């Protein structure tokens, strides 16, 4: 049986209530993004893109977003070390791309200056923070960490938006969790 976090109402069946709670949590609308990170770790520089759906704007002054990252993930260590992260917003048609980034990236191609050119076979570019974004992203954010909050299984990073951009300026629909057959959370 999977662990159940939080209280179970008196008289409720533990497993039935947990299934209900997960269904309700999974129904909350959310996007599907790539969180970019880069930092110097013990063995040298590491780059990563990680599929995430827990990303939201949390303030307007300063402009800030929050991302929740599994506490054991490479991305958590990289964001903590560098104090920065990026967010790649993808076109709905790019749903297969996010599956390349559900595990830490092992395949990194560098350019002549030692900057990431591709991760897991997908073209990237480094932002001012050094964090990668997918070249195919329709929109992107570069963020400096303002706050780090440990929440058990995940760490919530709040980042001030230090850079933003879009490709083509069009209104293509963005990738959402329900566009994939992926389930996470709950």
Q: What are 95-120's pLDDT values in tens digits? A: 889 889 999 999 999 999 999 999 99
Q: Is residue 105 part of a domain?
A: yes
Q: Is residue 2 part of a domain?
A: no
Say how far apart CA 121 and CA 134 lie, in whole Å.
Answer: 11
What is the total count of domains within the chain?
1
Say how far apart CA 30 and CA 178 lie, in whole Å.
Answer: 8
- pTM equals 0.88
Q: Which domain holds residue 53?
A: 31-178
Q: Is residue 118 part of a domain?
A: yes
Q: Is residue 24 part of a domain?
A: no
Q: What is the pLDDT of residues 147-174, one digit of tens each?
A: 999 999 999 999 999 999 998 666 778 7
In degrees and rounded to multiples of 5, residue 110 shows phi and psi of -105, 155
Q: What is residue 183's predicted lDDT score, i.e. its pLDDT?
A: 56
Say how far apart CA 158 and CA 148 lie, in whole Å.
Answer: 6
- Residues in the chain, pLDDT under 50: 1, 186
Q: What is residue 29's predicted lDDT score, i.e. its pLDDT?
A: 77
Q: What is residue 1's predicted lDDT score, i.e. its pLDDT?
A: 40
Q: Is residue 13 part of a domain?
A: no
Q: What is residue 19's predicted lDDT score, i.e. its pLDDT?
A: 87
Q: What is residue 174's predicted lDDT score, i.e. its pLDDT?
A: 79
**Domain CATH for 41:** 2.30.110.10
Q: Is residue 163 part of a domain?
A: yes
Q: Is residue 3 part of a domain?
A: no
Q: Is residue 124 part of a domain?
A: yes
């Amino acid at each position: 049986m999977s662990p159940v976090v939080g209280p179970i109402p008196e008289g409720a069946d533990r497993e039935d209530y947990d299934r209900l709670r997960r269904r309700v949590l999974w129904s909350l609308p959310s996007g599907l993004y790539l969180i970019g990170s880069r930092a110097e770790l013990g063995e040298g520089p590491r780059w990563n893109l990680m599929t995430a759906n827990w990303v939201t704007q949390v303030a307007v002054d300063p402009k800030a977003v929050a991302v929740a990252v599994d506490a054991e993930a490479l991305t958590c260590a990289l964001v903590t070390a560098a104090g920065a992260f990026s967010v790649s917003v993808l076109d709905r048609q790019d749903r297969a791309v996010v599956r390349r980034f559900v595990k830490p990236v092992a395949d990194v191609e560098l350019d002549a200056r030692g900057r990431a050119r591709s991760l897991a076979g997908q073209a990237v570019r480094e932002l001012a923070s050094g964090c990668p974004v997918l070249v195919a992203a329709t929109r992107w954010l570069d963020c400096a960490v303002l706050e780090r909050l440990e929440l058990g299984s995940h760490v919530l990073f709040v980042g001030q938006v230090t850079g933003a951009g879009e490709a083509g300026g069009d209104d293509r629909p963005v990738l959402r969790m329900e566009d994939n057959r992926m389930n996470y959370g709950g």
